[in-house]
Each structure stands twice: as C-alpha cells, then as structure tokens.
C-alpha cells in the first residue's frame, strides 16, 4: 500500500468558532492509495481523542500498524486499491499539526496556554481547507469513530455537499455529563501534578519520564473505553503471580494493565494537547448555532450511516439512535441507516472488533 505522510503549511488565518484566529498553522496528514483522474474516489478518515494521521499501514522503520489498519487497506472494507484515503491529525493535537506545544510565530516560544480553545467545528474547518488545497472538493465518504464520529457529523452539517456518505461510529451529537466527568478526572489530575509546572514543563522531560497526573487521568478514561464484561473476559480476578495477596500494594492483573498502558501513554502524548482536546470533546454540541438538533440535521444531504455498540458506556447506543430517529423524521427514510453491533467489549469496539461491522461499511461503500 502506498503511504505518504506530509505536512501542509497555511499562512491564511483560520477563524475559530470562539472568535479568535490561528495563524499560521500546520496540518500533518497521511494518504493511502491513488486519487483518480476526476478526483472523485477520496475518503476522509477522522480520528479519535488520542489518534493521529497514521490510520493504516506500517512504516518501514516500525512494526506498529495504523490505528484502523484492520479497516483500511488493499481488499479491506475501505479498499485502497479503489479509494484514495486521507487522514489528518487535528489541530490541537501533538503529532505534527499545530497545537499548544507548537511554536507561536510571534514569540518563537511554545503557545502553551496562549493557544486558543479549539472546537470540533474548528478541526473540521481546518481539514476542509486542507482538502481544498489538495483539489478535493467531493468525497465518496467521511468515516470516523468517537471524536472522529463527532467530526464526521459536524462535516455533514457544515459542508452538506462535500460527501456522498458519512459513517459515524460510537459517537454522539452532544457530549453528556457521564463523558465530561471522566474527562474532568483527567484534567484535574494533570493540573495538580507538580511536574506539569502549570503548563510550563519541558516536553522532552515529559517524553522521557512521563507524567503521573496524565497517567492517572488516562486510567480513568481507559475504564470508560471498556465494559464490565470485557474486563471480566480479559482479566477475571487474576492476581500477579509475583505479588503476595496480603501485600498492601500487591496487584490484580487489571491494575497492572492500567498502570502499564497509562504510564507508557504519557511518554508519547502531550498533556496540554490532552487538556485542549478533551475540552473540545466536552463542549461539542452539533445543535450549537441552530434552534435545536432537528434543525441542524436538516442541513445534511449525505446519506448518514450510524453505528453503535451495545456495551458502549461512553457514548451509549441510544445517543446514535436519537440521531437516526430524527434523521428519519426530517429526511427521506433511505437517507439514513442504523446498525447496533452486538458487542460486550465497550466503547473501543469500534477499534478492535472491526470484523463485526466491516462488511456493513464495505457494502455501503460499494453499493
């Protein structure tokens, strides 16, 4: 599979939903496959909270594949022999696109808290500008899960003539208190960690040593990505064989798993980016600027495919079903479709149980 990673630099101002301006700014993106002659075979992939532009394939010098590699590639549901696929790192993130730790051109120092609050709408707007510079004005589809699903929904409303089809997985039209509460734990843990230094930490030091506050917050977040059943199946009540049952700090396997993943995470994801992106998720509301959600959904012209997962505790199936029911009310019935996937895995099923929905996406794309 042909993988190309590039960074686009923009000098024109990006007018943000908050009223502030970001300029200049960069967007790092990755493409797979080839764009056809009339530029009509493009698919836009949008990533979740800690995702990046590296959605598929394996780099020559690494073993780890892209985060949605099971879905994207030659002969897969999103077939790169047929489609030209593009995935961009959102603004505010820490994988090449401009974010809070990027250099402010006016001071030549990292933005840190001077970086403006970014919304899902802003992320989508910046990526649409990227598509325009690439000469891509029509898409076969937009596909995203979780925060990526928020972006896909926002794009469907803001740019109704852009995509034929829009796939929204494990997402919502407005973040509910349950999800905001998990994000609050992470935000508070980061802010109260002395090593965070009120946002004036050395990124190289965090990358080398990690950040306890971010690790604690990530543990809380990780719990929301799973489900009680998936934890039972994955860990049961297994105890670490090297620890004594009556040692105060002896651990169950689930505790070791959370520690290992969370502390490793802090060495590759920036804490300020985590604060900014969770803020964007918390304030996401598709109906902002409209009288209500129904009015926002009336703007959609794409065919909307909504996929939820039965055991998802972060964005419950009823949240996708609410969007579907309103779509059925305000549009022709064939303009939207809904699939609730039988799964006990939890929210992250959209990343790990691809076999349960890949045929649905493949048939919709080829249909």
What residues are labeled active site?
A: 146, 312, 347
Q: Return phi, psi of residue 201, to 5°.
A: -75, 165
CB atoms within 10 A of CB 22: 19
The helix/strand/coil state of 311 is: coil
> Which tokens go with 209?
């040593």
Rounded Cα distance, 22 and 11, in Å: 9
Which H helix or E strand runs over 303?
strand 303-309
CA distances from 130 to 89, 123, 213, 323 (A): 11, 11, 34, 28
> Which tokens go with 50?
């800690």
CA distances from 262 to 76, 246, 255, 282, 365 (A): 31, 25, 11, 21, 36
Rounded Cα distance, 367 and 354, in Å: 19
Rounded Cα distance, 132 and 136, in Å: 5
Rounded Cα distance, 92 and 116, in Å: 9
> Which tokens go with 195?
């090593």
What angle separates helix 271-282 from helix 147-158, to the nearest 10 degrees? 50
CB atoms within 10 A of CB 130: 20
Identify the burial level of 249 via C-beta atoms within 10 angstroms of its C-beta, where 0-12 means exposed, 13-18 middle and 19 or more buried. exposed
Q: Which of 166, 126, 106 is nearest to 16 (CA)?
A: 126
């Amino acid at each position: 599979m042909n993988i190309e990673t590039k960074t686009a630099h923009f000098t024109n101002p990006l007018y943000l939903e908050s009223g502030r301006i970001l300029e200049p700014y960069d967007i790092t993106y990755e493409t797979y496959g080839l764009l056809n002659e009339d530029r009509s075979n493009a698919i836009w992939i949008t990533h979740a909270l800690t995702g990046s532009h590296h959605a598929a394939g394996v780099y020559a010098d690494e073993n780890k594949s892209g985060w949605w590699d099971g879905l994207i590639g030659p002969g897969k549901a999103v077939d790169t022999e047929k489609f030209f696929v593009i995935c961009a790192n959102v603004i505010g993130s820490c994988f090449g696109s401009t974010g809070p730790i990027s250099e402010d051109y006016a001071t030549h120092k990292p933005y840190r808290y001077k970086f403006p609050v970014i919304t899902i709408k802003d992320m989508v707007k910046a990526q649409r500008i990227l598509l325009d510079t690439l000469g891509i004005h029509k898409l076969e589809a937009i596909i995203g899960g979780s925060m990526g699903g928020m972006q896909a929904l926002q794009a469907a409303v803001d740019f109704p003539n852009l995509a034929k089809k829009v796939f929204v997985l494990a997402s919502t039209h407005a973040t509910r208190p349950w999800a905001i509460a998990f994000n609050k734990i992470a935000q508070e843990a980061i802010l109260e960690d002395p090593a965070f230094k009120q946002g004036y930490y050395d990124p190289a030091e965090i990358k080398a040593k990690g950040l306890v506050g971010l690790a604690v917050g990530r543990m809380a977040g990780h719990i929301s990505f799973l489900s009680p059943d998936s934890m039972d199946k994955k860990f049961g009540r297994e105890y670490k064989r090297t620890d004594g049952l009556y040692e105060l700090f002896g651990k169950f396997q689930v505790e070791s798993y959370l520690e290992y993943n969370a502390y490793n995470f802090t060495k590759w994801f920036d804490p300020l980016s985590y604060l900014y992106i969770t803020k964007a998720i918390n304030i996401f509301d598709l109906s902002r600027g409209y009288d209500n959600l129904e009015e926002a959904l009336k703007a959609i012209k794409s065919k909307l495919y909504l996929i939820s997962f039965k055991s998802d505790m972060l964005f419950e199936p009823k949240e996708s079903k609410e969007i579907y029911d309103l779509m059925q009310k305000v549009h022709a019935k064939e303009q939207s479709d809904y699939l609730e996937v039988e799964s006990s895995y939890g929210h992250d099923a959209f990343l790990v149980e691809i076999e349960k929905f890949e045929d649905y996406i493949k048939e919709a794309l080829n249909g």
